[in-house]
Amino acid sequence: MDDEVYRRARMKAAERDTSVSALVRQFLIDLAADGGEFERLKRLETAVREQITNFSAADRLSREELYDKRR
């Protein structure tokens, strides 16, 4: 494997708090599984939701504020 590719893979693994071996293992599991794309997207959604920590629906504008044309 090219050194640059391996370096990037190590960086991606570190971002995901895992190892290159674990990334490869998961890739092969997804590749071999039926519906692998769905499962990959489900994991991606879970990861994105875990990163959203400071969201509050109370911070949103009211309907009146949202559609106020005078702004």
Per-residue pLDDT at 35:
67
Q: How far apart are CA 1 and CA 24, in angstroms?
A: 13
Per-residue pLDDT at 53:
84
**Domain spans in the chain, listed from the N-terminal domain onward:** 3-59
Per-residue pLDDT at 20:
96
Per-residue pLDDT at 40:
80
DSSP structure string for the chain = --HHHHHHHHHHHHHTTS-HHHHHHHHHHHHHSTTHHHHHHHHHHHHHHHH--S--GGGSPPHHHHT-TT-
**pLDDT tens digits for range 21-59:** 999 998 888 778 766 678 788 889 999 999 988 887 777
- The position carrying tokens 């911070």 is 59
Per-residue pLDDT at 71:
56
Per the model's pLDDT, the better-predicted residue between 20 and 65 turns out to be: 20
Q: How far apart are CA 3 and CA 28, in angstroms?
A: 21
Q: Model's pTM, two decimal places? A: 0.46
